[in-house]
Amino acid sequence: MSVPAMDITNWIDSPEYKELNFARKDLVINPAKACQPLGALICALGFEGCLPFVHGSQGCTAYFRNSLSRHYREPVGAVSDSMTEEAAVFGGQANLIEGLKNAYTLYKPGLMAVFTTCMAEVIGDDIKAYVDNARKQKAIPEDFPLALAHTPSFKGSHITGYDNMLKGFLEGLAAPRRHATHLRLYVVPGFDTYPGNLREYKRLLSLLGVTYTLLPDYSDVVDAPNTGEFKMYPGGTPLAELQEALNASGYLFLQTYSTSATLKYIKNVQKIPTETVPMPIGVTSTDKFLMTVSQMAGKSIPAELENERGRAVDAATDAHPYIHGKRFALFGDPDLLYGLTSFLLEMGGVPVHIISTNGSAAFAKEMEELLSSSPYGQEASVHLGKDLWHLRSLLLTEPVDMLIGDSHGKFAARDAGIPLVRIGFPITDRVNLHRYPIVGYAGVLNLITMIANAFLEEKDRTSADAYFELLR
Amino acid sequence: MSNYELTKQAVEEVLSLYPDKARKNREKHITVKDEECSSCALKSNVKSVPGVMTSRGCAYAGSKGVVWGPVKDMIHLSHGPVGCGYYSWGTRRNLAQGTAGVDNFVPFQFTSDFQENDIVYGGDKKLERILREITQLFPTAKGISIQSECPVGLIGDDIDSVARRLSKELDLPIIPVRCEGFRGISQSLGHHIANDSIRDHVLGKVQREEIGPYDISLIGDYNIGGDAWASKMLLQEIGLKVQNIWTGDSTLEMLQTGNQVKLNLIHCYRSMNYIVRHMEETYGVPWMEVNFFGPAKIKESLIKIAERFDQTIQDQVQKVLDKYEPLMNKVMETYRPRLEGKKVMLYVGGLRPRHVIGAYEDLGMEVIGTGYEFAHGDDYERTFDQVDTGTVIYDDLTAVELEKLVERLHPDLVGAGIKEKYVMEKMGLPFRQMHSWDYSGPYHGYEGFPIFARDMDMAINSPTWKLVQNPWHR
């Protein structure tokens, strides 16, 4: 087709193009999802002394490590067993066994998490049998703790991989449930790329006086102090607490969609008392989280937290004029979207376009319920299975005031001429955001600060001289 | 003990950490240059040892990420599951001019997002539908490359015939690239496969009206942080006409007409030597290697280039050298006092482990170790004469090797990739990413050297390193 470039430039911004764009069925452009093993790797980082071991092509491991290091600006160790064409023909058993031996000897892990790339999945490698053979051949000690997970990249997304790996840890390494259980509450954060969030959960649980285990907890691994000494394994949930995980007094899941298989295993198979709350973003969800913990652990909410709540609410009422009635587009993982949407609704913000590349039908239904419960949610549409090229069409044909999502959103936001507030994964073009919690009452303060100030910066940047005022 | 002996000892200590079989393999990949250069050989371009934590990538990364990705007016489809395209999306810094979605598709990630059904029933039909969708949504795209991910080759899809058929149907160049990640042993085979696919499907397909006497191509400059623009400016200043860049801010036409120049100048030899050899053999286009890092190597390269042309260019080269010499001297005078004698260890990719040595030397710095992720024997041959006795040279360095060598050899600066960066910084060691220029650049040409010098100074002399030591533990 010979169309002048200028016309095409206008055309891709047009409603007609949007229609064509939304009619596409097979091509995916700028998806807001990665693949399973990335999530499995993040999960594996959360156990103390754990070395992630990727069974499959080595390039995948390089990609995962790069992606995580760019986001966290931290070292991310993981090994691959470097399967090549020979392994494609004969299977990857020899690679796995030799790889386990080398990794065990060189990096001295306390445990390893073995998960797969799509290459190993397509050829149907039986990692369970291979690992048994590795033990028999003494590549690793007979009793060396290993967790296994199949994480095919052609099913689900990174959150599925996180879930499969976490379930793999519990199935593989947790001792059977005894009748006499501990009084320890196990708290599952879900796929959450903020060490700041994990630290906030721990702080809140400590303030409540709860005996708990965060399962898993990679906050110290992806946010390690600089002391002049590199530590390969700077922290994480201790193996002993993983081994006792089925003797929990109860489980509290802080996400819904990134841990569904693990939840089923704990609740339906192991029959452990289990509660799920939405990711505690915003005042209402944080209230719910604290009340649920309080109820499960039989602890009352301390005055200190009441004051914290009061300060967060004060910040919300102070800043409401900057957010009320503003129109938002959002993209990211389902649990994050649910949390951010409920936060915006309680601030009087108006979510309009909600893009979820990796959300399920159940997610869409719960989002609809959330949105219909608020007068501010009436304009919103949830676009399931859509990508950031769809998002761009939406932004250009039905404009909003702000985009919320990860760094990949910067192109669409720029084309639409609106600010992007960076929340999610990956954030590759700003520093330190992952260190600031977006959950709990502290998270409320941070979100209000980021969103309201972004609008105010925008106003200062774009206002004419006569309207450039000291007061905002 | 001499430097040589100390370094030998450090290497020996690292190797002693390995189990026997892995040790036997790894010891062939590390050497220390001795007086007579009798140690100047090492094993390369072979499989990585499983489980040792290699930094290497895969063939897909070499093809889509390196060679094809910067061809901006084409759509590069990551064919297979979502991950490969996702992780290589916008992470290489190969900058491109143009309007996104119209004549520039570099900022995009196009994927066929394989699902289980596609694995079970094959992805060819889906690929056909995707190719049609691409042409509907992006009618100004000049062509499509299909970048195969692992499953494509394993399930027996025939993307070559889909490409052939659809190319005819859609009247558009569609290039199948069999760069599945399990092929080969690193990015390197991906470069080769991509070179071959350009040779077979693109090169020479369009005829330029005439070839001017100063028409050249710049090959193997990927425009990281604007490098190719800096190189191009330099070449234009000496009177040459840079018709094509392969591949940085490139167009399909630049690939199609790549054979129609007087000379190919190649920067990254590793990733593109295949195609310049082909152009020499088939079209008689000569090629030469150049190095645009730092004034000494730039000067050497410009003089070499001038020898290939007439007096006009030779005069122009002299003018350019005269013009920039005082400017570059000023840069060196500024930074040398702060950097003189500082020791550097490098571990990078295609050309940089040898090409940047000169730029460090321009600043009075000394490279005490260098090596490549995916080099071949001819790269190492070109490296040994660039380094001094006692320099350790390593191939497919592992994480533990780097950590231990650094502990023993105490470099003042390490230049490697993102996977190495934060390990070094946690050790309190200044570091620069030498793949992405740590989000800075360009580093090429006279434009790049002051930036390079500033960045290295900033890394080494940042006051933040003084904060690492805790005062109450001193």
Catalytic residue among B26, B29, B58, B459: B58
Specify whether A74 is located in the same domain as A168: yes
How would you write the pLDDT of chain B (474 residues) with one tens digit per residue?
788 999 999 999 999 999 999 999 999 999 999 999 999 999 999 999 999 999 999 999 999 999 999 999 999 999 999 999 999 999 999 999 999 999 999 999 999 999 999 999 999 999 999 999 999 999 999 999 999 999 999 999 999 999 999 999 999 999 999 999 999 999 999 999 999 999 999 999 999 989 999 999 999 999 999 999 999 999 999 999 999 999 999 999 999 999 999 999 999 999 999 999 999 999 999 999 999 999 999 999 999 999 999 999 999 999 999 999 999 999 999 999 999 999 999 999 989 999 999 999 999 999 999 999 999 999 999 999 999 999 999 999 999 999 999 999 999 999 999 999 999 999 999 999 999 999 999 999 999 999 999 999 999 999 999 999 999 987
* Selection from A466, A461, A377 nearest residue A419 by Cα: A461
Q: Which of A303, A336, A354 is the last residue of a domain?
A: A303
Tokens 């040898």 map to which residue?
Answer: B354
Indicate the residue among A287, A303, A319 that finishes a domain: A303
Let me know whether A150 and A238 are in one domain. Answer: no
| Mean pLDDT calculated for residue range A401-422 | 98
The residue of chain B nearest to residue A414, with distances taken between CA atoms, is B100
Q: What phi and psi values does residue A320 have, to the nearest 5 degrees?
A: -55, -35
Query: Token pair for residue A97?
Result: 């066994």
Probe site for chain A from B64, B82, B106 (most A CB atoms < 10 A): B82
Which of A1, A69, A231 has its CB closest to that of B418? A69
In a 3-state reduction of DSSP, which class is residue B179? coil
Measure CB to CB from residue B419 to each of A27, A53, A66 and give the nearest one: A66
Q: For residues A349 and A435, state if they share a domain.
A: yes
Tell me whether residues A75 and B426 touch, CB distance under 8 A.
yes
DSSP for B406-438 reads HHHH--SEEEE-HHHHHHHHHTT--EEESSSGG
Burial class (CB in 10 A: 0-12, 13-18, 19+), A279: buried
Other CB atoms closer than 10 Å to residue B128's CB: what's the count? 16
**Is the CB of residue B46 less than 8 Å from the CB of residue A82?**
no
8 A C-beta contact, residue A282 and residue A370: no
User: Distance from A269 to chain B by nearest Cα, in Å?
Assistant: 26
Residue B293, min C-alpha distance to chain A (Å): 26
**CB of B146 closer than 8 Å to CB of A113:** no
Taking an 8 Å cut-off on Cβ atoms, the answer to whether A63 and B109 are in contact is no
Domains of chain A: total: 3
- Rounded Cα gap, residues A25 and B128, in angstroms: 12
Within a domain: A99: yes
Q: Is residue A165 part of a domain?
A: yes
**Contact A101/B107, CB-based, under 8 Å?**
no
| ipTM, two decimals | 0.98
How do strand A250-253 and strand B343-346 relate by DSSP bridges?
Answer: unpaired
Minimum distance, in Å, between the CA of residue B119 and any CA atom of chain A: 7
Q: For the residues A243-247, what does the mean pLDDT come to? A: 96
**Distance separating alpha carbons of residues B352 and B375, to the nearest angstrom:** 11
**Residue A257: inside a domain:** yes
Residue in B closest to A84 by C-alpha? B182
SS3 readout for B278-318: HHHHHHCCCEEECCCCCHHHHHHHHHHHHHCCCHHHHHHHH
Q: Which of A230, A407, A428 is the mutation pick for testing B, counting most B CBs within 10 A?
A: A230
Q: Is B58 an annotated catalytic residue? A: yes
Distance between CA atoms of residues A69 and A34, nearest Å: 15
CB contact under 8 A, A105 and B18: yes
Check whether residue A150 and residue A202 sit in a common domain: no
Q: How far is B417 from chain A (nearest CA, A)?
A: 9
In a domain, A3, yes or no: no
- Strand partners of residue A404: A330, A421
A-chain residues near B123 (CB < 8 A): none
Reading phi first (left if > 0) and then psi (alpha if -120 to 50, else beta), residue A157 is in beta
- pTM for the predicted model, two decimal places: 0.97
Nearest-CA distance B322 → chain A (Å): 40
User: Taking the CB of residue B303, how many other CB atoms lie within 10 A of it?
Assistant: 13
Among B107, B155, B400, beta carbon nearest to A411: B107
**B396: distance to nearest CA of chain A, Å?**
13
As a whole number of angstroms, the distance between CA B294 and CA B359 comes to 4
Assess whether A296 and A315 both reside in one domain: no
Are residues A331 and A363 both part of a single domain? yes
Q: How far apart are the first and last CA of chain A?
A: 50
The Cα B72–Cα B100 span in angstroms is 9
CB contact under 8 A, A62 and B49: no
> Using one digit for the tens of pLDDT, what is the confidence trace for A263-272?
999 999 999 9
Nearest neighbour of A123 by CB, restricted to B51, B103, B154: B154
Q: What percent of chain A has pLDDT over 70?
A: 98
* Distance from chain centroid for Cα B205: 26
**B23 part of contact set with chain A, CB < 8 Å:** no
A60 falls within a domain: yes
Shared domain for A157 and A64, answered yes or no, is yes
Q: Taking Cα atoms as reference points, which of B56, B55, B1, B52 lies closest to residue B26? A: B52
pLDDT of the residue at B473: 86
Inter-chain residue contact B110 with A29, CB threshold 8 Å: yes
Binary contact (A57, B150; C-beta < 8 A) = yes
| Residue tagged 């026997």 (tokens) | B20
What is the predicted pLDDT for the residue at B449? 98
**Domain match, A53 and A139 both:** yes
Amino acid A1: pLDDT: 45
Do A70 and A42 belong together in one domain? yes
Chain A residue whose CA is closest to B187: A59
pLDDT band at A393 (very low <50, low <70, confident <90, very high): very high
- Grouping H, G, I as helix, E, B as strand and the rest as coil, residue A274 is strand
| Residue B361: burial class (beta carbons within 10 Å; 0-12, 13-18, 19+) | middle
Domain match, A62 and A145 both: yes
Residues of A in contact with B119 (CB under 8 A): 122, 154
Q: Is residue A198 part of a domain?
A: yes
Please state the rounded mean pLDDT for residues A236-253: 97
A13 inside domain = no
Phi and psi at B78, nearest 5°, equal -80, 105
User: In the prediction, which pLDDT does A5 show?
Assistant: 63
In this prediction, residue B255 carries a pLDDT of: 98
If 0-12 CB within 10 Å is exposed, 13-18 middle and 19+ buried, where does residue B157 land? buried
Token pair in block for residue A215:
């399962």
Angstrom distance (rounded) from CA A323 to CA A349: 5
pLDDT at A6: 66
Mark which residues 73-92 of B lie under 8 Å from A by CB: 80-84, 86-91
Q: What is the distance between the alpha carbons of residues A162 and A153, in angstroms, rounded to a whole number?
A: 12
| B47 and A CB contact within 8 Å | yes
Residue A420, classed as helix, strand or coil, is: strand
State the average pLDDT over residues A135-164. Answer: 98
Q: Which of B61, B84, B179, B359 is catalytic?
A: B61
Please identify which of the residues B26, B29, B92, B201 carries the catalytic annotation.
B92
Q: What is the 3-state secondary structure (H, E, C) of B71-136?
A: ECCEEEEEECCHHHHHHCCCCCCECCCCCECCCECCCCCEECCCCHHHHHHCCHHHHHHHHHHHHH
Task: Work out the average pLDDT over A397-408.
Answer: 98
End-of-domain residue from the set A173, A197, A214: A173
Query: Do A278 and A393 share a structural domain?
Result: no
The parent domain of residue A135 ranges over 36-173
Q: Is the same domain home to A168 and A40?
A: yes
Determine whether the interchain pair A74/B422 forms a contact, defined as Cβ–Cβ distance below 8 Å: yes
Q: Residue A31: inside a domain, yes or no?
A: no
CA nearest neighbour of A42 among A162, A190, A151: A162
Encoded tokens for A124: 């149907």
Interval A78-100: pLDDT, tens: 999 999 999 999 999 999 999 99
pLDDT at B27: 97
| Rounded Cα gap, residues A313 and A470, in angstroms | 25
Q: Domain containing A335 — which CATH number?
A: 3.40.50.1980
What is the set of active-site residues of A?
118, 122
Test the B interface: residue of A7, A60, A151 with most B CBs within 10 Å: A60
